[in-house]
Homo-oligomer: A and B are copies of this chain.
Amino acid sequence: MLRYAMARTDERFRSAYNRLLDICSDMEVGDQLPAETALADRMDVSRTIVRSALQKLDSDKLIRWEGRSKMLIRKPQAEHRLVPAESALSAEELEHSFFEWILRFDVPAGTSLNVAQLSRQFGVPVHNLQEFLAGLSRLGLVERRPRGGWSLLGFTSEFAIELSEFRMLLELNAVRQLLTLPADHEIWNRLKVLRREHEDLKSVIAERYHDFSLLDEKFHSAINSVVRNRFVLEAQKLIKLIFNYHYMWDKRDELERNAAAIDEHLEWIDAMLERDSERSEAAAIKHLRRSKETLLQSLRVHKFA
């Protein structure tokens, strides 16, 4: 059966066929296979797939299929298995590849993006890229060009400033909400654990300063976790994305920056543990302002590198 054009992959068929081989392996020659519906249920595919798989088993002389009789003629061997088509990147992996590309190569704002080329570059169907870029356009990171194609918008200094300010808005709100939580809320314990982890890392910062970025994310996630709001969450996803990628590529003064950040975090944690809202906000603002400056500097350095 030679196919000329395959409008969509038959990956579902392939994996179902292989699972059907497994089922046959567990049976004896001469046994009857279950009903089409039973197989479909068991393998979580439609009967259409089950029937095409049975057809192939029949034409490969592994079963004799006549009406509702599906008798195993011989046991399947390794060579009968179909090779699964390598699956494309998932939506998340695409996002990762895309941002890594942007930041690693400092792709400038205004760059025109074309789906066909990106599709080859990332090994992802054009369709997925269309969808991905359409999503980014809602976040204001890319823009549709008048007659086809997309244009990269973000990653200018203005972008970084506005993102940082938005981050500050969200995190200060989180801090305010956090301070209203009762003493038996799990956040207080989490903060105490985080405090200890910060102290631990501080004592070995000279060697282990690389470990800070993980702790940083853990800390900010904890703060933000008290806000249960899908819009805030969605915004934080973007913020995490951008800040993380920048930290990943900006290695200047990493030890000094991280050591200073640990102290800022500690002051912030202490203020919250003492339920001192004024001091907490001040500490938060101080840390977030410095974060913003770091992001901005990293952008500047990359621009003239």
Contacts and interface: CB of A to CB of B under 8 A. Distances in A.
A155 to B, nearest CB: 12
Interface in A109-149: 127, 130-132, 134-140, 144
B140 A138 contact: no
Nearest to A232: B166
A194 B42 CA distance: 66
Interface string A190-215: 00000000000000000000000000
A207 to B, nearest CB: 38
B135 A230 contact: no
Contact of A136 (B138, B144, B169, B238): B138
Main secondary structure on A side of the interface with B:
helix
A231 B136 contact: no
A235 interface: yes
Nearest to A12: B147
Contact of A229 (B127, B131, B137, B162): B162
Contact of A135 (B91, B134, B159): B134
Contacts of A166: 229, 231-232
Contacts of A163: 231
A176 to B, nearest CB: 10
Contacts of A139: 138, 234
A31 B85 CA distance: 63
Interface residues of A, number: 29
Contacts of A228: 162
Given A169-B169, A173-B169, A162 B230 contact: yes
Interface in A159-205: 159, 162-163, 165-166, 169-170, 173
Contact of A165 (B91, B130, B229): B229
Contacts of A127: 130
A159 B140 CA distance: 22
A243 to B, nearest CB: 14
Interface string A236-270: 00100000000000000000000000000000000
9 A-B pairs with the lowest CB-CB distances in the bound complex, closest first: A134-B134, A131-B134, A135-B138, A166-B231, A138-B138, A162-B229, A140-B230, A134-B135, A169-B173
Given A131-B134, A165-B229, A169-B169, 15 more contacts: A130-B134, A131-B131, A132-B134, A134-B134, A134-B135, A135-B137, A136-B138, A138-B234, A139-B234, A140-B230, A162-B230, A162-B231, A166-B232, A169-B170, A235-B235
